[in-house]
């Protein structure tokens, strides 16, 4: 574990360029400053992320975002103890911008560099003082629900964890994004589907809950996306009305949440823990937060549920800096390489 008090975090795994400065006082981790520049609106033109364009936007944004964050914190580089950066997984062009910038700053400012696995980093959004009164302790079950991952992980210590199960095909966020395309809704699909779902009836177009008969800890969401495609096809040239689209969104959101809850409950029954932490972009979903809170308080009253502030569910640098406080320091920044295929293992 690093002894650092002030950490600069940098995150550039996909279409967000993010920097954050965090301070640790005693056991409390607080945000001093944070900034995120997103090229998501630009990416929406293509209906998804165009890797080359995302990397170009990262290059344009990285220095302004870091400079702004130092200015907002009213700190100079001398006052930073450690630099933390997302090493992977993600898009290689985007990752390289963050990693090579962090390596350069680390050498020029003479600061240690800590590379962070983006997937593990997501969970550390639960250690920020503004999101939770109580920080997680171990053992803890982690559910990661993002654009590329849906994983259940059992943490026995900060960087000791066991992968319990995950999606066999599409991730939950991917299912939202691909279904949104089928429904002619812009990228990223999750937030848009969630908004429309608020005015929809989830029972008008019931969708199948994935893996209903399964007894393991895996997920599957590609069948759900196909069910949405079939539904859209049934309407043929008669486009779905606005209300029908809202109903399908409500049904899809409800079914994804039901599937996540079923498998998480199964994991909690197998692994008796006192803490459940949820993380990743899909965890920003209001209905998901409400349903999980309800289930945990009703059926697992001894378990503390940890949910990050929604703005720290989607990609950000706060979680990367927070993760670094519990990570050993790396001596030589030149050994750190971006790794687009980094896994949980």
Q: Which residues bind Zn ion (CB under 5 A)?
A: 146, 315
Region 308-327 residues binding ligand KG4, contact defined as CB under 6 A: 314-315
Binding site partner of 136, from Zn ion, ligand KG4, none, Cβ cut-off 5-8 A by kind: none
- Element spanning 247, H or E: helix 242-270
Strand-pair partners of 144: 151, 279
Alpha-helical segments (H) within 110-221 = 118-123, 172-182, 189-197
Site string for ligand KG4, 254-283 (x = CB under 6 A): --------------------------xxx-
| Residue 151 C-beta: closest distance to Zn ion, Å | 12
Residue 121 touching ligand KG4 (CB under 6 A): no
Strand ranges across the sheet with 275-279: 160-166, 150-157, 140-145, 275-279, 304-306
What region does 150 belong to: left with phi over 0, alpha with psi -120 to 50, or beta?
beta
Structure-block tokens of residue 152: 């259940």
| DSSP letter for each residue of 122-145 | HHGGGGBTTT-SS---SSEEEEEE
Is 112 or 190 the residue whose CB approaches Zn ion more closely? 190
Residue 247 touching ligand KG4 (CB under 6 A): no
With CA atoms as reference, report the closest residue to 115 among 128, 98, 91: 98
Residue 88 touching ligand KG4 (CB under 6 A): no
Among 94, 126, 245, 285, binds ligand KG4 (CB under 6 A): 285
Among 121, 190, 200, 333, binds ligand KG4 (CB under 6 A): 190
Residue 177 touching ligand KG4 (CB under 6 A): yes
Kindly list the residues in this chain that would bind ligand KG4 in the complex (CB under 6 A): 146-148, 173, 176-177, 188-191, 194, 280-282, 284-285, 314-315
């Amino acid at each position: 574990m690093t002894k650092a008090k002030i950490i600069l975090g940098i995150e550039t795994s996909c279409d967000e360029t993010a920097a954050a400065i965090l301070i640790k006082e005693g056991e409390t981790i607080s945000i001093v400053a944070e900034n995120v520049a997103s090229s998501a609106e630009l990416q929406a033109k293509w209906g998804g992320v165009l890797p080359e364009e995302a990397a170009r936007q990262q290059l344009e944004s990285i220095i302004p975002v870091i400079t702004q964050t130092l200015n907002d914190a009213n700190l100079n580089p001398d006052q930073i103890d450690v630099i933390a950066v997302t090493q992977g997984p993600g898009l290689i062009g985007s990752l390289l911008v963050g990693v090579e910038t962090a390596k350069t700053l680390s050498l020029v400012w003479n600061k240690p560099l800590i590379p962070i696995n983006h997937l593990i980093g997501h969970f550390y959004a639960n250690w920020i003082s503004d999101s939770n009164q109580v920080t997680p302790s171990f053992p803890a079950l982690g559910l990661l629900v993002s654009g590329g991952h849906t994983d259940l992980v059992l943490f026995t210590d900060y960087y000791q964890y066991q992968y319990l199960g995950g999606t066999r095909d599409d991730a939950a966020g991917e299912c939202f994004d691909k279904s949104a395309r089928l429904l002619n809704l812009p990228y990223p699909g999750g937030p848009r589907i969630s908004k429309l779902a608020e005015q929809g009836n989830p029972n008008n177009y019931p969708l199948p809950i994935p893996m209903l008969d399964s007894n393991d800890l895996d997920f599957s969401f590609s069948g759900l996306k196909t069910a949405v495609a079939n539904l859209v096809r049934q309407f043929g040239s008669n486009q779905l009305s606005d209300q029908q689209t809202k109903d399908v969104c409500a049904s899809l959101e409800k079914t994804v949440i039901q599937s996540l809850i079923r498998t998480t409950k199964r994991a909690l029954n197998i692994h008796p823990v006192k803490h459940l932490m949820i993380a990743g972009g899909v965890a920003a979903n209001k209905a998901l937060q409400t349903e999980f809170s309800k289930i945990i308080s009703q059926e697992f009253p001894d378990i503390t549920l940890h949910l990050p502030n929604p703005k720290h569910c989607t990609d950000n640098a706060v979680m990367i800096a927070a993760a670094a406080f519990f990570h050993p320091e790396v001596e030589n920044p030149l050994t750190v390489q971006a790794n687009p295929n980094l896994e949980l293992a």
